[in-house]
Amino acid sequence: DAGVIQSPRHEVTEMGQEVTLRCKPISGHDYLFWYRQTMMRGLELLIYFNNNVPIDDSGMPEDRFSAKMPNASFSTLKIQPSEPRDSAVYFCASRWTGGTGELFFGEGSRLTVL
Amino acid sequence: QQQVKQSPQSLIVQKGGISIINCAYENTAFDYFPWYQQFPGKGPALLIAIRPDVSEKKEGRFTISFNKSAKQFSLHIMDSQPGDSATYFCAASSVFQKLVFGTGTRLLVSP
């Protein structure tokens, strides 16, 4: 089975540009999470969805960040405009209600904003 | 109340030694306590998890010890190997709620 798939794996952009990160969760999983990982703050939950509906976006740092899940197999995290302090590794993870509670993570998208 | 405090931040252990990482929580509603392992360039992956109805869970060289009254839990890695060198995260949640992660422990097992 394919795991959680994220793209791009690496993104280098200039301050002010729009960045879109993409995630395909594991088929059949009904929860999708977006995390940000930095050395200073560790793993921070940004937002999560259940059945494509955003449940908790309290971790989204500011209005420059937005996330969508138009269907069960695709989600995006958008940063517009990007700033150097957004540089981090962004992880997508999914899980299934009927499972053990285990989160399955993608390999992450490393974002560098110059 | 939503925090999970993890220590130490980093740890160096000799091959064959025991690695111990500790976590503490405040929210008594938490009932699921997993540990995740992350290698460089990869996403975290579940290593082992425990629910509060037991005080210990062992899987191979990895053991979780859970102290409900103290609101603490720890990961023990017996006979640590260089291949165990990674970052370890503890986490906690209540039923089907979001996982709250600790800040991570970078473990280096020297040959």
Interface test with A, best of B33, B35, B46, B99 (most A CBs within 10 A): B99
3-state helix, strand, coil in chain B (%, to 5): 5, 55, 40
Which residue's entry shows tokens 């993608």? A106
Instruction: Determine contact, residues A38/A88, Cβ cutoff 8 Å.
Output: yes
pLDDT of residue A40: 85
- Please tell me whether residue B84 adopts helix, strand or coil conformation: helix
Partner residues linked to B12 by β-bridges: B108
User: Hey, of B37, B88, B101, B105, which one would you mutate to test binding to chain A, going by the most A CBs within 10 A of its CB?
Assistant: B101
Strand pairing partners for B21?
B75
Please tell me the predicted confidence (pLDDT) of residue A101: 84
Does residue A58 sit at the B interface (CB-CB below 8 Å)? no
Distance between first and last Cα of chain A: 36
Is residue A108 within 8 A of residue A82, CB to CB? The reply is no
pLDDT band at B13 (very low <50, low <70, confident <90, very high): very high
pLDDT of residue B1: 59
Instruction: Please indicate whether, in this complex, the C-beta atoms of A101 and B43 are within 8 angstroms of each other.
Output: no
What pLDDT sits at residue B96? 67
Residue B95 has pLDDT above 80, yes or no: no
Residues of B in contact with A43 (CB under 8 A): 44, 89, 101, 104
Q: Is B5 within 8 Å of chain A by CB?
A: no
DSSP reduced 3-state for A108: coil
**pLDDT at B83 (0 to 100):** 97
- Do residues A34 and A90 lie in contact, with contact meaning Cβ atoms separated by under 8 Å? yes
Mean confidence (pLDDT) of chain B = 94
In the prediction, which pLDDT does A80 show?
Answer: 97
Give yes or no for A105 touching B (CB within 8 A).
yes
Sequential pLDDT tens for chain A (114 residues): 689 999 999 999 999 999 999 999 999 999 999 999 998 888 999 999 999 999 999 999 889 999 999 999 999 999 999 999 999 999 999 998 887 889 999 999 999 999
Please report how many Cα atoms fall inside a 13 Å half-sphere around the Cα of residue A43, on the Cβ side.
30
Q: Mark out the alpha helices in chain B (DSSP H runs).
A: none
pLDDT digit string (tens) for B29-70? 999 999 999 999 999 999 999 998 899 999 999 999 999 999
Chain A CB contacts of B34 under 8 Å are 101-102
- Residues B31 and B94: beta-carbon distance below 8 Å: yes
Report the C-alpha gap between B67 and B87 in whole angstroms. Answer: 23
> Would you state the pLDDT for residue B94?
85
Distance from CA of A51 to the nearest CA of B (A): 13
The rounded distance, in Å, linking the Cα atoms of B100 and A7 is 25
Q: What is the pLDDT of residue B44?
A: 97
Residue B98: what pLDDT?
Answer: 84
Better pLDDT: A101 or B109:
B109
- pLDDT of the residue at B9: 94
**What local confidence, expressed as pLDDT, does residue A1 receive?**
62
> What's the pLDDT score for residue A2?
83
Give the C-alpha distances (Å, rounded to integers) separating B42 from A26, A59, A78, B39.
Answer: 17, 22, 22, 5
